[in-house]
Each structure stands twice: as structure tokens, then as C-alpha cells.
Chains A and B, each alone.
Chain A
Amino acid sequence: MLRFILTRVSLVIPTFIGITLLAFFLIRLVPGDPIETLAGERGIDPARHEQLRKEYGFDKPVLVQYGIYLGRVLQGDLGKSMITQEPVLSEFSALFPATIELALCAILFALLIGLPAGILAAIRRNSIFDHGVMGISLTGYSMPIFWWGLILILVFSVQLDLTPVSGRIDVLYYIEPVTGFLLIDTLLSDEEGAFWSAVKHLILPTIVLGTVPLAVIARMTRSAMLEVLGEDYIRTAKAKGLSRFRVVALHALRNALIPVVTVIGLQIGVLFTGAILTETIFSWPGVGKWLIDAIFRRDYPVLQGGALLLGVVVMGVNLLVDLTYGLINPRIRHNR
């Protein structure tokens, strides 16, 4: 097990370098000068422009810039935002809980509906329910996130006036951040109705962000279940006289979960990509919206730092999933 963890952790290093390379060079490929963007529409005097370029180190060759950047990153210095002059790390950690809260709700939503739907579809294979679930999940999987979000806003917020259009909570509440998770912080505060306001604001973003994982989990659960239900040991379990429920929920599900957990791990990365779009649609004050804004402002340090931090989080989650995999699959645990 220790060797397994060490192997996995050592794989993190090249991935890490890869992320810094991508984050650094991709943004520089995008046309647009950060200092001109900073100056705004009125323009900037060429002497001041030159001075600022020097200050930010943009006058050096790109490779040298990358070397300096990498050296700072290795010392834990991600730089300061060119707009706010705040350290990237502190901006990230202030905004990240909002993204985590949304992502957790989305994956929970996807699991709570996707798993049972997939299991039932497998048990009632080729039934109307099965075809329905598979059809809906294919639709969900194929739907562009921004379009789906706009449609939901149009129907539920604009037409039916059931949910708020954007934000995390009504403006009339001020919640002192304790954990950063609004659902918890509102419960800790004594502001009446704040919790419900936070829940209401979460509903649509959760559905939008959770739709793709939900579709993937439902389809994966179904096919894993179908495969497992045909195994010899399921016949053995039935031959023991176990109830149908126990055969499915214990003997089959335990084995079917193995590939499903892998897929969930892979979905975490997809989830952050989705979060960037979802947060922009719903003006959700998380790292996704922060990154999008940084792109428009050509805020290089924020983009580089944000992408790097998100990458580290995704790697961490995937490592965690791989370890869980060993927990639920004894064959892997003992081979290592």
C-alpha cells in the first residue's frame, strides 16, 4: 500500500510541471497585452507602458519569464493579482469554498439520483423505465452547460419565479465567513431565513453542474450492474436463498461500484470545468468566475496560479479516489 501511494505521488511531479507549462504558455498565446488591458480604454503613455512591462518582467524572453515563475512557484509564491494586488493564493482560498460547496452539492445530486436510477435500469433491463433513464441521461450528457443553465433560469426564475437568478444568497443578508461554506455559515449565524435563501440559490446551479456527472454515473452504474448481475457469484448468492434486495444491494452493488468510483474520480476534473461555466451563468462568486474574469483582464498571475491550484486539487482528489478504489476492491489491495 505504501509503495502504491509513493508511486502515485511521484507521478504527481511531471503532471505538476505539465500544468505550469500549459498555464504559463497558453495564456501568452492569447492576443492582448495585459498592461494595455490594465490601462483601459483611455490608453497609456508609451514611457509608462515600458516601465510597467519592466516592473512585471514582461520585457524578458518568455523562457526566462517561465524560469522565474517556476522558481517562485516552487517557493510557494504564486504572485499577486495584477488588478487587485492581492496574493493569488489568498484570493483563491477565499473563493474556493464557494466552488467546493457547489461542486459537492452537484456530485451529491448526481450520486443520489444517478446511482439508484442506474441500478433500477439494470434490474428492469429493456423496460420503459430503462429506456427512459438511458434516453434522458444521453440528453443530459449531450446538453451544453450554458444553454441548459439559461433554459432553467428562464423557466424557473423568470417564468415561474421559484428560484433566484444569480448569486449565493440574497443581498439583505450579511454572513460572516466562518467555514466559507454558506450552508454551514448561515446555520451558525442567527440571521433568520438566511439558510433557506442559500439553499434556494444553490438549487439551479447544482442541477446545471450535476447534470453531466448524473448522466455519466447513471449510465456507468447501469452497465456495471448488468455485467455484475450476470456473474457466477450472483447465482451463488441466489442459491443461498438470499432476498432479491440483498443480492442486488450487497452482492452486486459492491462489485458494480468499483468501475463507478473510477468514473466519479474522473468526473471531478470535468466538474471543475463545468463549475467555471456554471459560476459564470449564475454569477456564483467562486474560483470559476474569478478565472473567467481573469481571462478578460489578462491577469496572468491569477490565471497561472488558479489553473495550477485547481490542477493540484484535481490530482489530490484523483489520488484519493485511487486509494478508495483499493478499499472497495480487495483484489487491488492485496496485489500491492
Chain B
Amino acid sequence: MALLEIENLSVEFPTQGGIMRAVDGVSLSLDEGEVLGVVGESGSGKSVTMLAVMGLIPFPGRVKADRLAFNGRDLLTMSEKERRQLTGKDVAMIFQEPTTSLNPSFTIGFQLAETLRLHEGMDRKAARRRSIELLEQVGIPSAESRLSAFPHQLSGGMNQRVMIAMAIACNPKLLIADEPTTALDVTIQAQILDLLMTLQKERNMALVMITHNMGVVAETARRVMVMYAGQIMEERSAGDLFASPQHPYTAALLAALPERSEGSTRLATIPGVVPGLYDRPKGCLFSPRCAYATEHSRNVRPELRPWAGGKIRCHYPLGDPNRNAEIQADHPVGAEAAS
């Protein structure tokens, strides 16, 4: 049985202009100790998917799913109280901005101990001892004296270490890291990633790494899920994905990496922007920006289907030997056809 099972998850936010669908039919299963990378542009729904797992979708957002289960327990039917006993204990999350994610009015020690006292029922003394241990584990020097520090007295990197210490305090089975390194200096980024990977291995903890940095994914994840406009576009093992991307979107993302543009004078880009509430295409969501779009793909939305050892949501996977013929038959309209 998988640790985390998600089937057909949707998250909707009612707005004045209509219903905004931030996550659209995401299915996912994650095993114990597995590391999953979730990549996509801003607004692709990668964070919202994981916030839904945590039960942190703010009002008036609505979460719908055929199944949303953790460790065999149905998250959709359990009471709010039961859910709170899980979140922060078995499922924990760290966020993008460590400094604003910690409460400025409370000491590091208070915020760490709070989790321990809530979920582990520790008394003040035991929580303090454990807090010092945890701070040492995440590599914070002179841990004991840091307990009385406030977040504004620590650097961003230190604060992210504190966030990690808080997240792993109750030995979670799943840790969700939402762009944990985006707000940090490059040198600190590597340290934080190392720390996360070490902790993951030591504790055999499942880890979901949300990022828009392909480099981070390459360094950490065994399996990668590429999201676009709230949908999964492609999902496969990290090695295969980097070696031979199957979805044109994945290929375009990889082509935009600076290290892959060596020799050319201009960095490859993906023209256009992610569709919003009003311009959501009828067919494939990526079709307005896709170089290989056809009349068919603009009108018929592709299903997520098994392909080459993973899954893909595309009419014309890049590895398909017949794709050129199929594209020609379906009246190409993309950039490729124009050139």
C-alpha cells in the first residue's frame, strides 16, 4: 500500500469572474521513503496540490477528490481534529520563505517546543532537551543559546534549518518541501538540499520536493512529476525524464536551462504565459504555447496515459515514431508549422 494516495484531486477557488481551478484532476501515489520532484512554472498548481494534502487550502477554496489517503487513512472523511493530529506529526511541510514562515513574536525555542508538546505530549523540560537535539541535527551551532533567539536575529539559511527541525520534530513519514531553497543564497541552497537528503535517507522519510528549479530536481528526486496549469503533464523517473523528455513542455523546460544552451547566443524560452481563468484552452492546456500544436490538440484535451514507463498527457509524445505523420494529419498550427 502506498503511503500517499491521491486520485483525481481538484482544488477550486470561487472568484468574482468565475471558478478558478488551481488543481485539475491530479492523481499520484507515493511510497514510503520515496523522493518525488514536482516541477512547474509559478501558478502550475504544484504548491496547491500539496497544501491540499496538508489540509491547508484557505477558505473559500474547495478540495474535491475521488480518493485522498495517507497511510491507508482517508483524509477526506476524517474529522478536523483527527486531521490535525496527522498534520505536523506524520505529514510535515516546509515553505519557501523561511524568515516569514516563522512567527516573529515568539522565540525559536517556543516554536519548536510547541510542536513537540502538542504531538508528543512532552513536558517543558523534555521538549527543551529534544529541541536542542533537533537544532544540532539540522546543523545549527551553539543550539542551546539559539532557543531564546527570535527569527529576525537569524539568517534565512538558519531559519530554514529551524523550519526543517520543526518539521522533522515528530519523525514524519512524509515531508513536503515547497521550494525550500528558492529564497536562499546559492551556497546555502546546496547546504539545505544536502541536509534534506541526509535526513531523508537517515529516517527513510518520503519527501516531496516542489520546485521550479530543474537542477534541484536532478540532484534530489528519483521520480519527477511535471505540472502545468493545474494538470500533470508528464511523470517518470528522473533519469529518463532528463535523458529523453516525452512531453513537449518538459522538453521546452529542459531546453530553457542555461547549461543546455551552451554554444547558442540566446537562451531558449517558452513563448506566452500560463493560461488564466479566462483564457483556459478547450483542448490541451499547453497547446497555445506548444510548437507542435495541431487543430486536434487545440480542440481535444489529451488524457493522462501510460507511456514509456511513465505517464504523459499529450497526443504526440516526442518518443512516438509516428508522431510526425500524426501531426501532419491533424493540421499543424504550432510554431514549428509556421517556420
Contacts and interface: CB of A to CB of B under 8 A. Distances in A.
A236 B101 contact: yes
B56 to A, nearest CB: 6
A330 interface: yes
Nearest to B119: A241
A242 interface: yes
Given A233-B104, A331-B152, A242 B114 contact: yes
Contacts of A239: 54, 56, 87-88, 92-93
A75 B56 CA distance: 64
Interface string A297-336: 0000000000000000000000000000000111100100
Contacts of A254: 103, 105-106
Nearest to A244: B80
A328 B88 CA distance: 27
B84 interface: yes
Contacts of A236: 95, 101-103, 163, 166
Contact of A240 (B87, B100, B106, B153): B87
Contacts of A331: 104, 150, 152
B32 to A, nearest CB: 21
A255 B100 CA distance: 13
B115 interface: yes
A241 B86 contact: yes
Contacts of B103: 233, 236-237, 251, 254-255
A241 B88 contact: yes
Interface string B58-100: 0000000000000000000000000011111100110101001
Nearest to A230: B58
B89 A241 contact: yes
B100 A233 contact: yes
A255 B95 contact: no
Nearest to A333: B150
Interface string B103-119: 11110000000110011
A334 B101 contact: no
Contacts of B106: 251, 254
Contact of B102 (A233, A238, A243): A233
A235 B115 contact: no
Contacts of B95: 232, 235-236
A232 B84 contact: no
B201 to A, nearest CB: 23
- Chain A contact residues, majority secondary structure: helix
A331 B100 CA distance: 13
A232 B115 CA distance: 17
Interface residues of B, number: 28
A231 interface: yes
Contact of A242 (B84, B100, B152, B163): B84
A257 to B, nearest CB: 9
B149 to A, nearest CB: 10
Contact of A235 (B84, B86, B101): B101
A232 B86 contact: no
B269 to A, nearest CB: 30
A330 B88 contact: no
Contacts of B100: 231-233
Interface string A212-256: 000000000000000000011101111111110000000100110
A334 B153 CA distance: 9
A242 B106 CA distance: 15
B323 to A, nearest CB: 43
Given A239-B92, A239-B93, A330 B163 contact: no
B105 A255 contact: yes
Nearest to B110: A250
A329 B101 CA distance: 17
B118 A334 contact: no
Interface core residue of A232, A239, A254, A328 (most chain B CB under 10 Å): A239
Given A235-B95, A334-B153, A240 B105 contact: no
A235 B105 contact: no
Contacts of A231: 100
Nearest to A256: B105
Contact of B105 (A241, A328, A334): A328
A231 B92 CA distance: 18
Contacts of B104: 233, 255, 330-331
Contacts of B93: 239
A241 B152 contact: no
A96 to B, nearest CB: 35
Contacts of A242: 84, 88, 114, 118
Given A241-B84, A331-B150, A232 B118 contact: no
A235 B56 contact: yes
Contacts of A329: 105
Contacts of B115: 240-241
Interface core residue of A231, A233, A255, A334 (most chain B CB under 10 Å): A233
Given A240-B88, A241-B87, A232 B101 contact: yes
B101 A240 contact: no
B85 A241 contact: yes
Contacts of B88: 239-242
Contacts of A238: 56, 87
A225 to B, nearest CB: 14
A74 B39 CA distance: 72
Given A255-B104, A330-B150, A240 B166 contact: yes
A166 B23 CA distance: 65
A232 B97 contact: yes
A240 B163 contact: no
5 contacts: A231-B100, A232-B100, A232-B101, A241-B84, A331-B104
Interface of B: 54, 56, 84-89, 92-93, 95, 97, 100-106, 114-115, 118-119, 150, 152-153, 163, 166
Interface of A: 231-233, 235-243, 251, 254-255, 328-331, 334
Give the 10 A-B residue pairs with the shortest CB-CB distance, closest first. Answer: A241-B88, A240-B88, A232-B100, A233-B103, A241-B84, A241-B87, A232-B101, A254-B105, A330-B150, A236-B101
Given A240-B118, A330-B104, A331-B104, 5 more contacts: A237-B103, A239-B56, A241-B87, A241-B118, A251-B103
